Amino acid sequence: MSLPLLFVVALSPAMVFAGSSPKTTTEHGIVKAVDQSAHTLTVAGKKSGAETKFQWNDHTKFTEHHKAASASVLKDGERVDLTFVPGGNMAMLKSVAISPAKSENHAASQPTGNSNHKARY
């Protein structure tokens, strides 16, 4: 009778650790502020518009145009897709995918006026 009890007690720590891994969450928004020295990023959420402050560390992965980047390329107004672990005073960033601000992206796709195409009527 004590063997099943011992078995349950032996499995309990493994069950606790397996279920305690932090879940990640995603957010899409616009960079409102960057503090390089404090390693913080303030983002206005795409849907809510509410501003949230996030923190990054040495394990946070930054990408820009699908290529590895660093936090130093972050600028106000850029669009970001964030993956983070909520909790504590500030959510910890796991990854930050950076896209140009809408006006930069839109301007890059506009013709320059030096087109060789003739209008057809």
39-83 pLDDT tens trace: 999 999 988 889 999 999 999 999 999 999 999 999 999 999 999
Q: Which CATH superfamily includes the segment(s) 25-101?
A: Copper binding periplasmic protein CusF (2.40.50.320)
Can you give the pLDDT at residue 97? Answer: 98
47: DSSP letter: T
| Residue 121 pLDDT greater than 80, yes or no | no
> How far is the CA of 32 from the CAs of 4, 52, 90, in angstroms?
57, 9, 16
Instruction: Say if pTM beats, i.e. exceeds, 0.85.
Output: no
Q: 30-34, 72-76, 86-90, 111-115: which has the minimum mean pLDDT?
A: 111-115
Distance CA 85, CA 28 (A): 14
> How far is the CA of 40 from the CAs of 16, 32, 34, 45, in angstroms?
31, 11, 6, 16
Structure tokens belonging to residue 49? 């518009």
Residue 10, phi then psi, degrees to nearest 5:
-70, -30
4: DSSP letter: H
